């Protein structure tokens, strides 16, 4: 009785503590949609938490996202591994003590979250909104990325000497390098002292925030001045193609090996980042590299051992296949013999001295048949006699069958009588 009283008191304490929390937790384990009307009468904030999933091969290409449906961008979002951390960020922002986080955009409406770890999020807005937990079982982009990485690993040797692949990579590197050089000269134009003092005062967060703002400005310029960007890209691509054409594809084997290893490294990175299940990605990488560099001699040994232990069932030839194979091999052997007799390696005069009919040998070497007319006639008469000897036996068998049938009929008639 006392133990039951203690349990009831403990449950009441837990319920009272949960009811006194300044936030409401919504645990989401699958595709869910929650709509909220603002302003709300309740004072507690809503925190949406994803419980996470277990690691399995079914989650190899899975993707989970928080999607915020709202009319405008006037909202702030807070992410954390548990509700307490999210509430702390919310209270700091409410009092104006939040620190600028350059890695998370506050107006981001789609947030990719970790698939296997719990993740919580809260929204601070005065607009009507809804929260969607999107669970994509098979992300096509992840599948394509992994397939492309595996294809790069297995085709790295052929791509290292492919001129088309060389020119495409050269053009891409040329365009990317030109943009980097352009960014370098733009950074030279910025005031160094002001930027240095800002980095010293604000730390690395200010530097990253300024870089993010500059990147957003570059994106805006690229959208507003699209024609100039396209013409610039085409001009740099043409110049890069000319430079690659002047240099030419790599011909040295060591240069090809360096290109091949670089392609394989790119493929490994693509496979590794194609899934959040990094253990499975690493296993796929190891299996791909083992298959790629598995010695061919070992493959032949394993194949020979398998055939010795489990030999394939032999199929006997039919009579038609036997005669066709005999005729085919005979023609092939006669052609090889005729070619040898006509070659300088054969001593034709010595052979003709040993033969009784040298004209027949010369006729055979010139391409005529190796059989005479009499031999062909004898063979045909022999074959005809064999056919004649076979036909009566089959005819007599047929007569015997007919006689047996008639006998059966007569017996049945007698029985019926």
Q: What is the average pLDDT across 329-338?
A: 90
Cβ atoms of 287 and 150 closer than 8 Å: no
Rounded mean pLDDT of the chain?
Answer: 76
In the predicted structure, residue 4 carries a pLDDT above the cut 60: no
Higher pLDDT residue, 90 or 103? 90
pLDDT level of residue 232 (50, 70, 90 thresholds): confident
Most confident of 6-10, 210-214, 226-230, 285-289: 285-289
Cβ atoms of 90 and 124 closer than 8 Å: yes
Write down the residue that tokens 């929260």 correspond to: 131
When mean pLDDT is compared across 4-8, 127-131, 297-301, the lowest value belongs to 4-8
When mean pLDDT is compared across 18-32, 194-208, 260-274, the lowest value belongs to 194-208
Cβ atoms of 165 and 156 closer than 8 Å: no
Ramachandran bin of 111, using left for φ above 0, alpha for ψ from -120 to 50, beta for the remaining angles: beta
The structural domains of the chain, with segments of one domain joined by +, span 16-138, 143-296, 335-378
Cα torsion angle, 376, 382, 386, 389, sign: positive
pLDDT level of residue 141 (50, 70, 90 thresholds): very high
Structure confidence by residue, pLDDT tens digits, 10-53: 445 444 444 456 777 888 877 777 777 665 555 668 888 888 88
Write down the CATH number for the domain with range 16-138: 2.60.120
With a pLDDT cut of 70, the percent of the chain lying above it is 73
* C-alpha closest to that of 61 among 282, 287, 276: 276
In the predicted structure, residue 9 carries a pLDDT above the cut 70: no
Rg (CA), the chain: 43
* C-alpha closest to that of 61 among 3, 147, 120, 133: 147
Most confident of 58-67, 259-268, 300-309, 375-384: 259-268
Q: How far is 409 from 41, CA to CA, in rounded Å?
A: 105
Q: How far is 336 from 364, CA to CA, in rounded Å?
A: 12
Helix (H) or strand (E) run with residue 65 in it:
strand 63-70
Q: Say whether pTM exceeds 0.85.
A: no
Cβ atoms of 242 and 174 closer than 8 Å: no
SS3 content of the chain, % helix, strand, coil (to 5): 65, 10, 25
* C-alpha closest to that of 182 among 210, 238, 221: 221
């Amino acid at each position: 009785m006392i133990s039951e009283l203690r349990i009831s008191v403990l449950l009441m304490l837990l319920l009272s503590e949960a009811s006194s929390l300044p936030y409401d937790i919504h645990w989401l384990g699958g595709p869910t949609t929650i709509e909220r009307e603002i302003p709300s009468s309740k004072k507690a904030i809503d925190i949406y938490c994803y419980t996470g999933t277990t690691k399995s091969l079914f989650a190899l290409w899975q993707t989970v996202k928080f999607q915020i449906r709202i009319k405008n961008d006037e909202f702030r979002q807070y992410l954390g591994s548990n509700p307490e951390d999210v509430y702390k960020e919310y209270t700091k922002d409410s009092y104006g003590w939040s620190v600028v986080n350059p890695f998370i955009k506050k107006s981001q409406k789609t947030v990719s979250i970790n698939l296997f770890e719990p993740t919580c999020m809260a929204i601070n807005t005065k607009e009507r909104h809804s929260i969607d937990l999107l669970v994509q079982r098979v992300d096509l982009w992840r599948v394509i990325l992994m397939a492309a990485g595996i294809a790069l690993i297995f085709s790295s040797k052929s791509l290292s000497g492919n001129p088309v692949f060389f020119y495409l990579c050269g053009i891409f590197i040329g365009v990317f390098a030109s943009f980097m050089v352009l960014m370098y000269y733009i950074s030279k134009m910025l005031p160094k002292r002001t930027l240095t003092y800002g980095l010293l005062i604000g730390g690395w967060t200010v530097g990253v925030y300024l870089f993010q703002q500059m990147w957003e400005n570059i994106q805006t310029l690229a959208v507003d001045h699209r024609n100039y960007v396209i013409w610039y890209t085409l001009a740099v691509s043409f110049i890069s193609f000319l430079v690659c054409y002047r240099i030419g594809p790599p011909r040295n084997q060591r240069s090809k090996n360096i290109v091949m290893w670089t392609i394989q490294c790119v493929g490994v990175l693509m496979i590794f980042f194609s899934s959040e299940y990094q253990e499975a990605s690493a296993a796929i990488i190891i299996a791909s590299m083992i298959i790629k560099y598995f010695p061919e001699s070992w493959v032949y040994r394993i194949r020979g051992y398998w055939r010795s232990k489990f030999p394939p069932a032999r199929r006997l030839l039919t009579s038609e296949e036997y005669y066709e194979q005999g005729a085919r091999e005979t023609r092939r052997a006669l052609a090889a013999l005729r070619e040898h007799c006509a070659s300088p390696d054969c001593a034709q005069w010595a052979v003709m001295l040993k033969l009784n009919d040298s004209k027949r040998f010369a006729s055979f070497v010139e391409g005529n048949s190796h059989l005479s007319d009499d031999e062909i006639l004898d063979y045909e008469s022999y074959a005809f006699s064999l056919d004649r000897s076979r036909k009566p036996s089959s005819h007599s068998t047929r007569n015997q069958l007919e006689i047996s049938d008639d006998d059966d009929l007569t017996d049945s008639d007698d029985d019926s009588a």
